[in-house]
Amino acid sequence: MVAGGRRHAALKSLAKSGAIARDFAVPCQIIESGDASEVSLAENVQRVAMDAMDEVDAFSALADAGQSVDDIARRFGIGARHVEQRLALAALSPKIKAAYRRGDVTLDAARAFCLVDDHSKQEAVFKSLSKPITHSGSVRSQLMQGRMRHTDRLARFVGLEAYEVAGGTLKRDLFETDGVYVDDPALINKLAHDRLDAVRNDALSQ
């Protein structure tokens, strides 16, 4: 039996107590062996009984087998963003994932490590912080050193659209809707000075 073990046990208990007849007809569905692990995963996801990193590994296996984010989301009745977040965690350094499993990194902190893809940078920050790592803000702060938050006054003054038009790039946090970082603060500074010069020139010409 692949799935439904708990229901089978419940039905046996009901039959034993006389609540249902021993020949009570129970509908069942035969699943192809290739889909067995997927059915089991779906039941665990819907019961919210699976550990986050187990779900990460399971979704990663499905993605490696060729299923798209939308395919996985549709099959398990969850949002595409949730799948993307789980796949981002799947791409973490194996050392970070192992640390999560032994309790040295919380799930919230593990999410913060997803800000960069470089395993060596993830591991350097992991090594520098005292254990257990529970504060995601500390992880983000170290990983994003040299970058500027989009809420910085200069970034707001220039505007992210103008910055991107000028060739600037942004780093977006998949786990925080407000987590946007400017990759090139020097470009923001240049654009801010250019804008101030233009304003001054306009004022002088009037």
DSSP H or E run through 195: helix 185-205
Cβ distance 88 to 40 under 8 Å? Answer: no
SS3 171: strand
Instruction: Give the C-alpha separation, 37 to 82, whole Å.
Output: 20
Q: For residue 42, what are its two tokens?
A: 């779906």
Residue 45 has pLDDT above 70, yes or no: no
Per-residue pLDDT reduced to its tens digit, 58-81: 899 999 999 999 999 998 889 999
d(CA 5, CA 16): 17
CA distance readout (Å), 18 to 5, 6, 10, 22, 152: 20, 18, 12, 8, 69
Backbone angles phi, psi at 112, to 5 degrees: -65, -35
Q: What is the pTM of this model?
A: 0.73
Non-local CB neighbours of 89 within 8 Å, separated by 6+ positions: 52, 53, 56, 97, 110, 111, 114
User: Per-residue pLDDT tens for 101-156?
Assistant: 999 999 999 999 999 999 999 999 999 999 999 999 999 999 999 999 999 999 99
Alpha carbons 174 and 60: distance in angstroms, whole number: 17
Alpha carbons 127 and 125: distance in angstroms, whole number? 5
- Cα–Cα distance, 6 to 27 (Å, whole number): 15
- The encoded tokens of residue 86 equal 């789980």
What pLDDT, on a 0 to 100 scale, did the predictor assign at position 1?
45
Residues 6+ apart with CB under 8 A from 188: 148, 152, 154, 155, 158, 163, 168, 182
Q: In angstroms, what CA-CA distances link 35 with 9, 29, 42? A: 23, 12, 11
Q: Is the pLDDT of residue 42 over 80?
A: no
3-state helix, strand, coil in the chain (%, to 5): 60, 5, 35
